[in-house]
Amino acid sequence: MRYDEDYLNDQFEKLLAKIDSHYARFTNQIEFADDPIIENSRFIELMGISTKTAQTWRDQGVVSYTKIQGKIFYRKSDILELFNKYHVKSSKFE
């Protein structure tokens, strides 16, 4: 059986899309029961901050983190704690 080039390219693109989908699920979010872990690059992206700001926050103890062989990781619970610590309640509804 012989397949034309367009068919093979289409099948190859579908396979790459599936691989990308699976890779994305595991790259920046490792599931640990109720407390997912994210890498530093994903944290920076989510927070909309620079690499330097993330470093400053770690140095000043603003956010908790884990460092393993030079790689930085954050727990979801650490990020939520950061938000709770700096949360400013509206006085409008009090």
**What pLDDT score does 8 carry?**
81
Tell me the pairing of strands 37-39 and 71-75.
antiparallel
Query: Bridge partners of 68?
Result: 71
How much is the pTM? Answer: 0.61
More confident call, 26 vs 72? 72
Residue range 13-67, pLDDT digits in tens: 888 887 776 666 665 555 555 778 889 998 999 999 999 999 999 999 999 999 9
Q: Among residues 83, 46, 41, which one has the least CA distance to residue 64? A: 83
Domain layout of the chain by residue ranges: 1-27, 31-94
